[in-house]
A = this chain, B = another copy of it.
Amino acid sequence: MLSKKTKYGLKALSYLASQDNRLPVQIAEIAKHENISQKFLESILLTLRKSGLLGSKKGKGGGYYLIKDPEDILMTDVMRILEGPIALVPCVSLNFYEQCEDCPDEATCAVHKLMLQVRDSALTVYRNNTLADIIK
């Protein structure tokens, strides 16, 4: 299941991408428009800023804004930042690989075999979608 963090983060990014200009947008405005708890959204936007997707400006007229064009923001990056690994099990993860303690052999593991396909299919979707694509 998709976490609310990811859901809200995607909605916030979409809202920013659909602005006419790149002027900073206040947290309060995003929260209100997307029906998100403002405080919770704060922490999400902070995460997105630290990961380089958003910029921020303090003080009057401040807020958050996109650093890159929506066309250049890949869903693979967004998902990994907000949701973490795209793979459903660590043993098929590209960026967060971990061996299973209980599994004697990945090559013959049925779970591994299935989850590898699921990961690839999800990756294909995320790689083929930018922020611009999903707000159209």
Please list the residues of chain A having a beta carbon within 8 angstroms of any beta carbon in chain B.
1-2, 7, 10-11, 13-14, 34-36, 75, 85, 88-89, 102-103, 109-111, 113-115, 117-118, 121-122, 124-126, 129, 131, 134-135
Copies of this polypeptide in the complex: 2
Q: Are A75 and B36 in contact (CB under 8 A)?
A: no
A-side interface mostly? helix
Q: Are A110 and B135 in contact (CB under 8 A)?
A: yes
Residues of chain B with a CB closer than 8 A to A110's CB:
10-11, 13-14, 131, 134-135
Residues of chain B with a CB closer than 8 A to A126's CB:
118
Q: Are A2 and B88 in contact (CB under 8 A)?
A: yes
The residue on B at minimum CB distance from A2 is B88
